[in-house]
Amino acid sequence: MKRLRMVAGALAGLILAGFAAAQNPAAAKTSGKKSSPTVAAAQEFLDEAESRYFDLTNKAQRASWVEENFITDDTEEIAAQANQELSAFSAEMSRKAHEFDSLTLPTEMARKMLLLKLSAGFPAPADAKEQKELSQVLASLDGDYGKGKWCPSGNASKCLDVTAVGKLMATSRDPEELKRAWMGWHAVGAPMRQRYARMVELGNKGSRELGFRDAGALWRSNYDMAPDELTKETDRLWEQLRPLYESLHAYVRGQLRKKYGNEIVPAHGPIPAHLLGNIWSQEWNNVYSLMDSPKPPQSYDLTKILEDRRTDVQGMARYGEAFFISLGFAPLPKTFWERSLFTKPADRDVVCHASAWDIDSKDDLRIKMCIQITEEDFRVIHHELGHNFYQRAYNGQPPLFQNSANDGFHEAVGDTIALSVTPEYLKKIGLIDAVPEASGDIDYLLQQALEKIAFLPFGLLVDKWRWEVFANQVKPEEYNKAWWELRRKYQGIVPPVERTESDFDPGAKYHVPSNTPYMRYFLARILQFQFQRALCRETGYTGPLDRCSIYGNKAAGERLNKMLGMGLSKPWPEALAVLTGETQMDASALADYFAPLRTWLDEENKANHYPVGW
C-alpha cells in the first residue's frame, strides 16, 4: 500500500499559526478571548488541512521512494526531513482538530475530523529536537534493514542480502546450513535495539500528547472501534482458526521429523524455526515438497513453466495487469513500466521487500520488488498490483479518504486476486494444458494452507508484541524474551539456537524497523476469503471455493471496483457490506475454504500418531 513512515518534524508551528488566523482573524491580532468554533471555521480548517496534507504526503512519498531505492546517508536524511514535515503537520492537525469537538458536524466533515485526529500515525512529541531525533532514528532503522547482509564465514565478497538468504532457506535441506543462514540474517537486528527503544519512548510521548495511552492505542484506534475492542476482535478471530492451525502444525512437524530425524525435530513440542523454508517461519510453502499429501495424476510446476517460457520480470507483472484488465479495469499507465523497480540493481543497496506505491495520488503508480521467476512471486505480483488498482480506484476521493476502508482491506484485495490464481486460471491464460482432477484438491489446499494458515499466528503476534512494548508491559531488557514467548505460544516454534537480550530478533523482520503496523496482514487473511466468497457468488459459481477464479468476470470486477472506489470515506463495515453484504469480519469463509483439508489433516494425524499441540 502507500508507503509512508509517519515520523517527526518542525514545520507545523507556522502552519498552525496560519490556521489560527484563518479560523479567527481577531485572535491573530489581539490577545483577547477566542470566539467559539463554528461549522464554517471547521470547514475552512479541513479544506486547508487536506490541501497541505496532500502536498506533504506526495513530497514524503517521493523522498521515501528515492531513499529505499538509493540507500545512502544523504537519501536517508532527505527522507527523514520530508517525513519529519509530514509527521509534524499530522500531529499538529490532530491536536487542532480537537478544538472542534463541541460542534455537531455533517457526516463527511465529522469523519474527516476523526481521520485527522488519527493521522499522526506514529507521532513525535511537540518538541522540535525530539521530532528531528525521531525522524533520524526511523530513517536509520529502515536503512539498516535495507543494507542488511549475511556474509558466510565472514567472507565479504560473498555476502547475501535478504533476497539471497530467503532463496537459500527456501531451497536448502541441510539443517546446519539453514541454521547458519538463520543466525546470519537475524544478526542484522542486534544493532537496532537501543535506537528502537528510543523510538518507542518518543512515539509514546507524542501519542500521549495527542490524548492516547500509547502508540499502540493510537494504532488500534484506526479500525472504527475502541482500541480494546480491536484486541478482543482479533482474539475472537484467532480462536475461530486456532484448531485448524494446530492440526496443520502437528502434520508439518511429523513430516519434518521424517526428514530430519528425532534429534532435530521432536515428536512433541515446538518446531525449530530454521526448518520451515522461510527466514521468519511466517509461511511454510517452501517445505511443501517434504509433505506426503496425495499428488494428483496431472500436476505441474509453475516455477519451471515460467522458466521454460523464459518469462522475464516485466512479463510476470504483465500477467498480473492482464488479470485486472479482464475484470474491466483500465491498463496501468505507461509510467508504471518506466518507473517501477522490478529487479535488484547490481550496483547499490535497495529495500527489496515487495511494496506498491502511489507517488502522486493521481496516476503515478509503481511497484518496488526484486522479482524472482517463481510461483511464489507470480502470486505476489498479483497481490502487489491489487494495491495499485485500489490506489487508483480511490484517487478521486478527497485526500483524507484516499486509503483503504481499513489497512486490512488494502492487503486483502491483493490476496483475493491471488486466491484466483487457480489451476483453472492458469489454463485459461495458457500456462498449463489441463486442470488437475478434483482428486488433487487436498494437495492444492495443503499448498495454500502452508502459506495462508501457517501465517495466521505470525500475523497476529507481531503487533501483539509491539502493543505490549508500546504499553511498557515489555521493557527493553525483555524485548527478545517476550518476542520468543509469543512465537512459542501462538506459532509453536522456537529458535534453532539459544537467544539472549544481546539479540534483537524482531529487527530482522522488515515491518519492525520500518515501523509498519502488521495487524493488517492478519485481518487480510480473514477478509480475503470473505471477499472471495462474495465475488464467486457474484459470478454464479457454486463449486468448491478453492477452484473459483473470478478472472474474466466483469460483474465481479464491477462489484469489487465499487468497494475500492469508496476508499476511506465510510467506516469499514459499510465498505464490507458493499462487497459482501456482511458487516462483521468472519473467519467462516476461510474455514469453509479449508474444510476438506481439515478433515484430511485430522485423519492423517490420527493415523500417523502425530500429537496435536506443543
Domain ranges of the chain: 12-144, 302-447+532-576+583-600
Q: Cβ(505)–Cβ(484) under 8 Å?
A: yes
- Residues 281 and 295: their CA atoms lie apart, in Å, by 25
For the chain, report the end-to-end CA distance as a whole number of angstroms: 36
What's the pLDDT score for residue 387?
95
Structure confidence by residue, pLDDT tens digits, 563-572 = 999 999 999 9
Choice among 24-33, 224-233, 331-340, 408-417 with the minimum mean pLDDT:
24-33
DSSP-based three-state secondary structure for 388: helix
The per-residue pLDDT of the chain, averaged, comes to: 91
Q: Cβ(550)–Cβ(327) under 8 Å?
A: yes
Residues belonging to the active site:
353-354, 383-384, 387, 411, 511, 521
What's the pLDDT score for residue 110?
95
**How many CB atoms within 10 Å of residue 581?**
10
Residue 69 corresponds to which cell in the numbers above? 531505492
What's the pLDDT score for residue 13?
32
Going by C-alpha positions, the residue among 532, 405, 519, 502 that lies closest to residue 457 is: 519
Q: With bands split at pLDDT 50, 70 and 90, how would you rate the model's confidence at 2?
A: very low
What's the pLDDT score for residue 8?
31
Structure confidence by residue, pLDDT tens digits, 526-538 = 999 999 999 999 9
What's the pLDDT score for residue 34?
62
Q: Cβ(463)–Cβ(219) under 8 Å?
A: yes
Q: With bands split at pLDDT 50, 70 and 90, how would you rate the model's confidence at 299?
A: confident
Residue 317 corresponds to which cell in the numbers above? 507483472
What's the pLDDT score for residue 33?
55
Parallel, antiparallel, or unpaired for β 365-368 and 355-358? antiparallel
Going by C-alpha positions, the residue among 191, 309, 254 that lies closest to residue 604 is: 254
Q: Which of 27-41, 360-374, 477-491 has the highest mean pLDDT?
A: 477-491
DSSP-based three-state secondary structure for 341: strand
Structure confidence by residue, pLDDT tens digits, 69-119 = 998 989 989 998 998 888 888 888 988 998 999 999 999 999 999 999 888
Question: What burial class does residue 213 get, using C-beta atoms within 10 Å of its C-beta: 0-12 exposed, 13-18 middle, 19+ buried?
Answer: middle
**How many CB atoms within 10 Å of residue 208?**
16
Going by C-alpha positions, the residue among 536, 543, 546 that lies closest to residue 591 is: 546
What's the pLDDT score for residue 155?
80
- Residues 23 and 425: their CA atoms lie apart, in Å, by 57
Is the pLDDT confidence value at 364 over 80? yes
pTM of the predicted structure, to 2 decimals: 0.84
- Residues 77 and 313: their CA atoms lie apart, in Å, by 31
**How many CB atoms within 10 Å of residue 331?**
11
